[in-house]
Amino acid sequence: MSIDTAARRNVLVLVAAQAILGAQLPMIFTIAGLAGSSLAPNKCWATLPITMMVIGSMLTATPLSMLMQRFGRRAGFFFGAAGGASGAAIGAYGLSTGSFPIFCLGAICSGIYMSANGFYRFAAVDTASEAFRPKAISWVMAGGLLSAVVGPQLVKFTADQMAVPFLGSYLAVIGLNLAGSFLFLALDIPKPKPPVAGASTGRSRAELLRTPTILVAMICATVSYALMNLVMTSSPLAVVGCGFDKGNAADVVTAHVLAMYAPSFFTGHLIARFGTERIIAIGLTILAAAGAVAMAGVALENFFVALVLLGLGWNFGFIGATTMLTSAQRPEERGRLQGLNDLVVFGGVTMASFSSGGLMNCAGGSLQAGWQMVNLAMLPFLILAGGALIWLWLRPQESRT
């Protein structure tokens, strides 16, 4: 029997969960800004619901990680699905009553699912051998391919089905969470063993942050995810604001999410062959190319190409950084490090999401100028991540971990 038989079975469950439950994320990213624009008292706050969802994800990353460390992955993932369903229900109520604060409250609860979704990639390696880990991570991320199609297409089908725009979409999100949660019954990941008195508990959070490989992995993961979120959050507003319709915006998001997950079929193989540092560097370069294409024009083709490059760059940068992080962790540090990592990552994503709406709607005097500012804002953070990666390259191998 293969050493990774159990790991492969768990990966299949997580792939299915990524495909079904994960469909809610592209749905919410497509419609929350547009719905927020109609509810918000000020257009500058249009993307605040997305920001609130990311804040909810950031605030629950560490508690969820600790919950999983004590009760297992299944309990944490059930809790995440319950949060997603509750958030959609509250969001639907906010839409039906025209209440922007209630709509934002629902978005915070939806962040619980977003946080749980982020742990799928870590759960994939819990029962995997060292050789199988990069492939396990990339295969789970590949489950997002179906969600990339299902989510935006559900938006196109449900957005105008009820008297209140987008209400049907939020009701569909409730159904996705309820149906998808049954998948976790098939998950077979042993609960972590309670620590033995006197046994090592691993490095402290401060020590983890001072470890070069872990620090650079966090920086690159944060920059990759935050810049993807910065641009994607504004893209539906930019597409519609430049004269195209909601269907075009959904199609652009579909292309983007496909590009996020399609490379996952081979990203793990590329990491195994070329190493994490090279793959992360390629991802950062592609993210820079996405910004350049977006700034070159506002034709529909520019939106498609820029968002496809954005998704591809995120895939290489984020999966590469996740693999780098897991290679530097010790078993007793898993809950502490993964919670800390996602707190940092989603903290960066929160700032990017909050900045996105302000840059888009309140910088430059027009939507086109705002779109330029959104993409220009990528530059300093790409320099930061690139510089951190070069710094790690220059360090002796023995001093990295």
Determine the Cα–Cα distance for residues 365 and 174; give it in Å rounded to an integer.
38
Determine the Cα–Cα distance for residues 298 and 302; give it in Å rounded to an integer.
6
Q: Which of 187, 240, 229, 216 is nearest to 74 (CA)?
A: 187
CB 148 within 8 A of CB 26: yes
Determine the Cα–Cα distance for residues 250 and 152; give it in Å rounded to an integer.
5
pLDDT at 197: 62
pLDDT at 1: 42
Phi/psi at 204 (5° precision): -75, 170
CB 180 within 8 A of CB 20: yes
Q: Which of 91, 67, 26, 393 is nearest to 232 (CA)?
A: 26
CATH topology of domain 5-186+203-399: Growth Hormone; Chain: A; (1.20.1250)
pLDDT at 353: 76
Q: Which of 315, 190, 217, 265 is nearest to 15 (CA)?
A: 265
pLDDT at 263: 85
Q: 1: exposed, middle or buried (C-beta count within 10 Å: 0-12, 13-18, 19+)? A: exposed
CB 146 within 8 A of CB 15: no
How does pLDDT run along the chain (401 residues), one tens digit per residue? 456 788 888 889 999 998 899 989 888 887 887 888 778 887 777 778 888 898 898 888 888 888 888 888 999 999 999 999 999 999 999 999 999 999 999 999 999 999 998 888 788 888 777 778 777 877 887 777 778 778 878 888 887 788 888 888 999 999 999 999 999 999 888 877 766 666 666 777 788 888 899 899 999 999 999 999 899 888 888 888 888 887 788 788 888 888 988 887 788 788 888 888 999 999 999 999 999 999 998 899 999 999 999 999 999 999 899 888 888 877 677 767 877 887 888 888 888 877 877 787 776 667 788 888 989 999 999 999 999 999 998 888 777 77
CB 28 within 8 A of CB 51: no
Q: Residue 379: CA atoms inside 13 Å, Cβ hemisphere, count? A: 7
